[in-house]
A and B are shown apart, each in its own frame.
Chain A
């Protein structure tokens, strides 16, 4: 199972919006509405930010939103803040009781 494709990095100024793409195939992202997104700060436990493409867990700011079109899912961070600067990973169910993660994207706040 190949990793989902994410841009290596995206950047934006405070208050701006950034969007991270996550491209897979019809066997994973395109085949299910089971895409989730995770935030990884170094040395900390990964944090769930979005699940089932668009749903936001309680406690996650509404600045974070998810969407999907075809084989590509996206995470948008609106009103970018300094604390958003870190790594983000997408994940999709890939059938046959398996899961596949993305290659990871570093978000930089300029």
Chain B
């Protein structure tokens, strides 16, 4: 059974950093396209970043230069390193598997990130 479990969320001050983890089971992270999507309070879903099976990475414009997506094949885990956090980054962050060309077939339950002083 495919399962994704996020961890690492919490409260952080503006300008701070946080690293989210997403541990996968039932499939291999390295062989799949993996993404982060967020849901901010009162707003809709927003695609954040993706890492392709070959290792190429892409980001939504507002997080470029601040967020880094990566993976650890030995732990079958996806990460999102978030630096220079802003209040508008407050959201529930979901990891999701993308099936090419363009649909997310499996999702985690989400990790809440709150950026506030």
Contact = CB atoms under 8 A, between A and B. Distances in A.
B50 A97 contact: yes
B60 A1 contact: yes
B1 interface: no
A101 B44 CA distance: 7
A32 B108 CA distance: 27
Given A98-B47, A103-B44, A43 B58 contact: no
Interface residues on A, range: 20 to 34
Contacts of A6: 44
A36 B56 CA distance: 23
B94 A51 contact: no
Contacts of A48: 103-105
Given A101-B45, A104-B45, A45 B107 contact: yes
A64 interface: no
A99 B109 contact: no
Contacts of B65: none
Nearest to A96: B58
A32 B102 contact: yes
Interface in B22-72: 35, 37, 39, 43-47, 50, 52, 56, 58, 60-61
Among A32, A46, A102, chain B packs the most CB atoms within 10 A around the CB of A46
Interface in A40-81: 40, 43-48, 51-52, 57
B103 A101 contact: no
9 contacts: A45-B4, A52-B103, A91-B45, A93-B101, A97-B52, A101-B44, A101-B45, A102-B44, A103-B43
